[in-house]
């Protein structure tokens, strides 16, 4: 089984550990596949503008540098740890109301996708790139300030675009995902070094990016585990 | 005012001791030049025993550095108690990375005694093929010539045990910066001081090279299965049997990157209790040796005055300078070892930030406060179980019933409350 985490932030957005150290943190712990998913925040409201001002978001301007550095780290991680590092972003549509907010992981992204597009445009843009679409922390959480409920509240409309839902995020478990029988994965939402110890995904597939994407999409051979020291 | 002069005298005594520690560290590293480099030594095969539990910082690189030793013949035995241990996957990856190396992975539950590290070592020891065994913790990273350097010390047949100097590297958080500062000043200084001036073996279990027959002669691992400081006691028993216990001046790196403050405090509380139970009255010398803490006592207990504050500031400054100098000695040694080149190390470089030394007085104040805990409590919580520490750090389980058990339960409740608040 491959030990995986597909929701990881670095100093490119609001993470506290830089990219290289983050990759080392997971490599040193024996992980098989990870995705770096820094925030791409919508800049069309005051919350988003603040995020852009404080450089807590990947932007169109630095996306190429971001993707290039992930590529470089992916090569290093493969040589050293035999660990796959996939490029990704977390499209973050933040509003004052959690009912309106949504966060979406786009994994194996190739080109920049702005967060101010509407949902259909974001999903179709990701599909065109062959990327995976994951709905992040879709239900009520222990930390209410991080709640993003829009996708869950509008699941009838958007579920067809979503490849998998986070059934667990860091310390929270969302049992509604299992009740609805949606495809699932579990991630750490890594921002700090201690977040390594959290929910993770185990995949029973070959260690290459296409097999991993197919395994998640078909949701066969997927398990979740609470990674503790 | 007389009280101030008493504490000032004790502080100067502590500073003098610290100066001697620095001198002994410097001397230890200088000796290396005359000692190493001779290749006319037979290098017998070695079994490296690696007891593992959980993910240490830098675990992959730590273990990897042992797989890359420039040494003719050796085996590595990774030993775990549980397949669910996250370290299992890391050990598996390394075994796959080096198919040509003699690496075995043993997962076996052993409940022979109360010391979990010894329980972990017993199956690995049984599997060890060679007469020379090296017990090495999973949180150390070594240079490629490490094994040659320590086996060289074994050419004297009277040597029973070789241990190493330890330096802390890699601090990214406050807890790990404190830990590394403590390893690079108090621990390395004390070990060198005891070795040089008092001829006392101070074996630290992060690296212990010995022969199987010597270990068997002192009762084997089972003789220390219920002892918290199994490393120190093994060294003491070896010496008692007339075997030399040698301190190799080949520095090994203890990588501490992401420790929380709580982990730092917990470890040094446990180590303090251990030293109190082993050293007895000698434990008080540690308080006197903590010059920063001693210089601050008059400020804490009496009204702060210009003279007391100036004195404490001066002592803190001296301590910062001392720690900086020790850091430089260690750093220079590391650089020279790599530059000497015969075994160019590929292990990750860790920078030593001199700015961290500014935190050294704060660390010493915390250590000073921790010093008192062993006088009030004789129990340790280790991996979820509470034990009572007796003389020479012999462990016994806490009573389940009776008056004493209430005392321990009360301590547990108070600790849990504090943990929740924190």
- Tokens at residue A81, please? 């740890």
Residue with tokens 């251990």: B274
Catalytic: B231?
A: yes
Rounded to whole angstroms, the Cα distance separating A58 from A36 reads 12
Predicted pLDDT at B206: 93
Strands in B74-80's sheet, in edge-to-edge order, are: B102-107, B74-80, B46-51, B132-136, B207-211, B159-169, B244-255, B140-141
pLDDT at A6 over 60: yes
Q: List the one residue out of A138, A60, A126, A128 whose CA is nearest residue A99.
A: A138
Q: Could you tell me if B142 and B220 lie in one domain? A: yes
Q: Could you tell me if B343 and B251 lie in one domain? A: yes
Q: Which domain holds residue A93?
A: 2-226
pLDDT at A93 over 50: yes
| Rg, chain B, Cα only | 22
Nearest to A28 among B58, B96, B97 (CB): B58
Q: Could you tell me if B357 and B408 lie in one domain? A: no
User: Quick check: B144 and B343 in contact, CB under 8 A?
Assistant: yes
Mean pLDDT of B114-136: 95
Termini Cα distance of chain B: 39
Predicted pLDDT at B404: 60
pLDDT at A13 over 90: yes
Q: Which domain holds residue B79?
A: 1-376
User: Quick check: B175 and B266 in contact, CB under 8 A?
Assistant: no
- In chain A, what residues touch B58 (CB-CB under 8 Å)? 28
Q: Could you tell me if B110 and B217 lie in one domain? A: yes
Q: What are the pLDDT digits (tens) for B310-322? A: 999 999 999 999 9
Of A118-127, A184-193, B99-108, B385-394, which gets the smallest average pLDDT? B385-394
Predicted pLDDT at B305: 86
Are the Cβ atoms of B55 and A81 closer than 8 angstroms? no
Predicted pLDDT at B377: 87
pLDDT band at A229, cuts 50/70/90? confident
CATH number at residue B354: 3.90.550.10
Q: Could you tell me if B318 and B413 lie in one domain? A: no
Q: What are the pLDDT digits (tens) for A193-209? A: 999 999 999 999 999 99
Nearest to A29 among B86, B92, B97 (CB): B86
Q: Could you tell me if B188 and B329 lie in one domain? A: yes
Are the Cβ atoms of B60 and A27 closer than 8 angstroms? yes
- In chain B, what residues touch A193 (CB-CB under 8 Å)? 172-173, 257-258
Q: Could you tell me if B386 and B369 lie in one domain? A: no
- List C-alpha distances in Å: B373 to A157, B270, B275, B380, B415: 61, 9, 12, 11, 13
Give A31 to chain B, closest Cα distance, Å.
8
Nearest to B61 among A28, A193, A194 (CB): A28
Are the Cβ atoms of B86 and A229 closer than 8 angstroms? yes
Mean pLDDT of B128-141: 96
If residue A172 lies in a helix (H) or strand (E), which one and from where to where? strand A172-173
Maximum Cα–Cα distance across chain A: 44
Predicted pLDDT at B351: 59
Mean pLDDT of B91-114: 94
Which 3-state string (H, E, C) describes chain B? CHHHHHHHHHHHHHHHHHHHHHHHHHHHHHHHHHHCCCCCCCCCCEEEEEECCCCCCCHHHHHHHHHCCCCCCEEEEEEECCCCCHHHHHHHHHHHHCCCCEEEEEECCCCCCCCHHHHHHHHHHHHCCCCEEEEECCCEECCCCHHHHHHHHHHCCCEEEEEEEEEEECCCCHHHHHHHHHHHHHHHHHHHHHHHHCCCCCCCCCEEEEEHHHHHHCCCHHHHCCECCHHHHHHHHHHHCCCEEEEEEEEEEEECCCCCHHHHHHHHHHHHHHHHHHHHHHHHHHHHHCHHHHHHHHHHHCCCCHHHHHHHHHHHHHHHHHHHHHHHHHHHHHHHHHHCCCCCCCCCCCCCCHHHHHHHHHHHHHHHHHCCHHHHCCEEEECCEEEEECHHHEEEECCCCHHHHHHHHHHHHHHHHHHHHC
- List C-alpha distances in Å: B380 to B113, B371, B394, B400, B408: 16, 15, 12, 15, 10
Q: List the one residue out of B158, B105, B129, B122 whose CA is nearest residue B45.
A: B129
Contact residues, chain B to chain A, C-beta under 8 Å? 54-55, 57-61, 86-87, 89-90, 92-93, 96-97, 172-173, 257-258, 260
pLDDT at B65 over 70: yes
Rounded to whole angstroms, the Cα distance separating A95 from A93 reads 7
pLDDT at B347 over 50: no
pLDDT at B383 over 90: no
pLDDT at B341 over 50: no
Q: Give this prediction's pTM.
A: 0.88
pLDDT at A73 over 60: yes
Are the Cβ atoms of B90 and A30 closer than 8 angstroms? yes
CATH number at residue A197: 3.20.20.140
pLDDT band at B348, cuts 50/70/90? very low
How far is C-alpha B141 from the geometric centre of its chain's CA atoms? 13
Q: Mean pLDDT of all residues in chain A?
A: 93
Predicted pLDDT at B343: 40
Are the Cβ atoms of B86 and A227 closer than 8 angstroms? yes
Q: Could you tell me if B334 and B398 lie in one domain? A: no
Q: Could you tell me if B354 and B406 lie in one domain? A: no
Q: Could you tell me if B269 and B358 lie in one domain? A: yes
Please list, in sequence order, all residues whose beta carbon lies within 8 angstroms of the beta carbon of residue B356, skipping any fewer than 6 positions away: B171, B177, B180, B181
Are the Cβ atoms of A28 and B93 closer than 8 angstroms? no
User: Quick check: A202 and A1 in contact, CB under 8 A?
Assistant: yes
- Tokens at residue B249, please? 């001046």
User: Quick check: B166 and B351 in contact, CB under 8 A?
Assistant: no
- Tokens at residue A215, please? 């395994």
User: Quick check: B202 and B171 in contact, CB under 8 A?
Assistant: no
Top residue of B56, B59, B62, B89 to mutate, by most chain A CBs within 10 Å, is B89
- In chain A, what residues touch B173 (CB-CB under 8 Å)? 193
Q: Could you tell me if B362 and B419 lie in one domain? A: no
pLDDT band at B344, cuts 50/70/90? very low
Domains identified in chain A, total number: 1
Are the Cβ atoms of B92 and A30 closer than 8 angstroms? yes
Predicted pLDDT at B34: 54
pLDDT at A165 over 50: yes
Rounded to whole angstroms, the Cα distance separating B246 from B159 reads 7
pLDDT at B178 over 50: yes
Q: Could you tell me if B258 and B397 lie in one domain? A: no
Calculate ∠ Cα B316-B318-B320, nearest 5°: 70
User: Quick check: A196 and A25 in contact, CB under 8 A?
Assistant: yes
Q: Buried b / exposed e across B162-192, counting CB within 10 Å, b at 16+?
A: bbbbbbbbbbbbbbbbbbbbbbbbbbbbbbb
pLDDT at B342 over 50: no
Predicted pLDDT at B41: 67
User: Quick check: B352 and B331 in contact, CB under 8 A?
Assistant: yes
Q: Mean pLDDT of all residues in chain B?
A: 88
Q: List the one residue out of A92, A221, A200 whose CA is nearest residue A146.
A: A92
């Amino acid at each position: 089984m491959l030990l995986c985490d597909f929701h990881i932030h670095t100093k490119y957005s609001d993470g506290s550990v830089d990219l290289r150290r983050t990759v080392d943190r997971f490599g040193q712990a024996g992980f098989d596949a990870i995705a770096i998913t820094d925030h791409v925040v919508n800049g069309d409201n005051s919350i988003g503008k603040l995020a852009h001002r404080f450089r807590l978001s990947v932007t169109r301007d630095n996306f190429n540098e971001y993707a290039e550095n992930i590529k470089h780290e992916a090569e290093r991680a493969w040589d050293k740890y035999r660990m796959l590092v996939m490029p990704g972003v977390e499209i973050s549509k933040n509003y004052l109301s959690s009912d309106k907010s949504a966060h979406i992981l786009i994994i194996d992204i190739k080109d920049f996708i702005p967060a101010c597009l509407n949902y259909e445009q974001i999903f179709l843009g990701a599909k065109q790139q062959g990327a995976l679409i994951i709905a992040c922390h879709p239900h009520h959480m222990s930390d209410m300030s991080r709640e993003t409920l829009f996708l869950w509240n509008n699941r009838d409309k958007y579920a067809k675009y979503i490849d998998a839902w986070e059934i667990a995020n860091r310390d929270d478990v969302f049992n509604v995902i299992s009740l609805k029988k949606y495809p699932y994965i579990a991630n750490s939402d890594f921002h700090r070094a201690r977040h390594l110890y959290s929910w993770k995904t185990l995949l029973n597939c070959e260690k290459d990016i296409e097999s991993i994407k197919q395994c998640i999409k078909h949701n066969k051979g997927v398990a979740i585990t609470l990674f503790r020291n | 005012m007389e009280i101030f002069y008493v504490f000032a005298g004790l502080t100067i005594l502590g500073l003098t001791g610290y100066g001697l520690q620095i001198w002994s560290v410097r001397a230890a590293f200088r000796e290396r030049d005359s000692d190493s480099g001779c290749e006319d030594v037979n290098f017998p095969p070695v079994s490296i025993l690696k007891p593992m539990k959980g993910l240490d910082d830098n675990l992959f690189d730590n273990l990897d550095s042992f797989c890359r030793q420039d040494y003719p013949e050796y085996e590595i035995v990774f030993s775990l108690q549980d397949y669910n241990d996250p370290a299992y996957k890391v050990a598996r990856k390394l075994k796959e990375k080096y198919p040509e190396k003699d690496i075995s992975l043993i997962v076996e539950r052993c409940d022979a005694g109360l010391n979990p590290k010894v329980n972990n070592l017993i199956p690995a020891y049984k599997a060890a093929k060679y007469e020379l065994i090296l017990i090495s913790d999973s949180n150390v990273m070594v240079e490629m010539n490490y094994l040659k350097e320590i086996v060289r010390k074994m050419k004297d047949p009277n040597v029973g045990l070789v241990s190493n100097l330890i330096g802390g590297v890699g601090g990214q958080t406050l807890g790990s910066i404190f830990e590394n500062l403590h390893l690079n000043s108090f621990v390395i200084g004390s070990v060198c001081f005891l070795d040089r001036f008092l001829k006392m073996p101070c074996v630290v279990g992060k690296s212990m090279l010995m022969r199987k027959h010597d270990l068997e002669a002192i009762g084997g691992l089972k003789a220390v299965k219920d002892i918290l400081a199994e490393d120190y006691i093994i060294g003491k028993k070896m010496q008692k049997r007339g075997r030399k216990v040698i301190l190799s001046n080949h520095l090994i790196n203890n990588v501490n990157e992401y420790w929380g403050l709580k982990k730092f405090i917990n470890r040094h509380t446990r180590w303090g209790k251990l030293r109190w139970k082993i050293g007895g009255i000698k434990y008080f010398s540690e308080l006197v040796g903590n010059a920063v803490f001693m210089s601050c006592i008059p400020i804490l207990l009496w009204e702060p005055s210009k003279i007391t504050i100036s004195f404490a500031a001066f002592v803190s400054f001296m301590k910062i300078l001392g720690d900086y100098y020790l850091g430089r000695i260690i750093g220079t040694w590391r650089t020279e070892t790599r530059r000497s080149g015969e075994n160019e190390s590929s292990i990750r470089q860790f920078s030593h930030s001199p700015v961290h030394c500014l935190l050294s007085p704060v660390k010493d104040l915390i250590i000073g406060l921790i010093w008192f805990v062993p006088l009030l409590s004789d129990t340790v919580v280790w991996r979820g179980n509470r034990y009572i520490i007796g003389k020479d750090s012999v462990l016994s389980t806490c009573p389940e019933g009776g008056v004493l058990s209430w005392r321990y339960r009360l301590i547990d409740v108070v600790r849990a409350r504090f943990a929740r608040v924190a």
